Amino acid sequence: MSSARPSSAPSDTAADTASSAPRQVTILLFSDNYETRDAVRAAVGRRPARDVEVVGWHECATGPAVVTEVEQGDFDLLILDGESAPVGGLGLTRQLKNEVFNCPPVLVLTGRPQDGWLAAWSQAEAAVPHPLDPIVLANTVADLARRAR
């Protein structure tokens, strides 16, 4: 006979209580297009998953601003638009991954599904193609947030 507590029994440990709290993340979002930034924020929302809560967004419209913010900021996740110009998110991702110690996970927005190889080259942890699918984007953000430092 097993003496294990049934799974529906309430938990008495602080660790179990802490694990039920959502993972709170701060995201840096880069795109030169404000409509793309708006679409990303709307798709991800405040709670991309039950266990993940976005507590802050920081938006950048230029590559140099991203580098400065990542070097000075404390972000859990970066979302970079690969279609931005003149500095694209793919090259910027590669630069950050090679130059910033403990660079946060990066999600790149690619121009099309076939550009996944560019995302791999850039060293991004994930890629979502345009046109943005809100469900795929929210799920990808939640997955990366769970793995963030």
- Identify the sign of the CA torsion 84, 43, 59, 51: negative
Average pLDDT, whole number, for the chain? 89
End-to-end Cα distance, the chain = 41
Q: What is the pLDDT of residues 129-145, one digit of tens each?
A: 999 999 999 999 999 99
Q: Which residue has the tokens 């701060």?
A: 26
Q: What is the pLDDT of residues 67-93, one digit of tens each?
A: 999 999 899 999 999 999 999 999 999
Three-point CA angle 102, 106, 110, nearest 5°: 155
Here the tokens at position 56 are: 């802050």
Determine if the peptide bond prior to 86 is cis (ω within 30°).
Answer: yes
CATH superfamily entry for domain 25-147: Response regulator (3.40.50.2300)
Whether residue 103 is predicted with pLDDT greater than 50 in this model: the reply is: yes
Who's near 23: CB < 8 A, 6+ residues apart? 51, 52, 53, 145, 146, 148
Q: What is the pLDDT of residue 19?
A: 58
How much is the pTM? 0.86
pLDDT band of residue 65 (cuts 50, 70, 90) is: very high
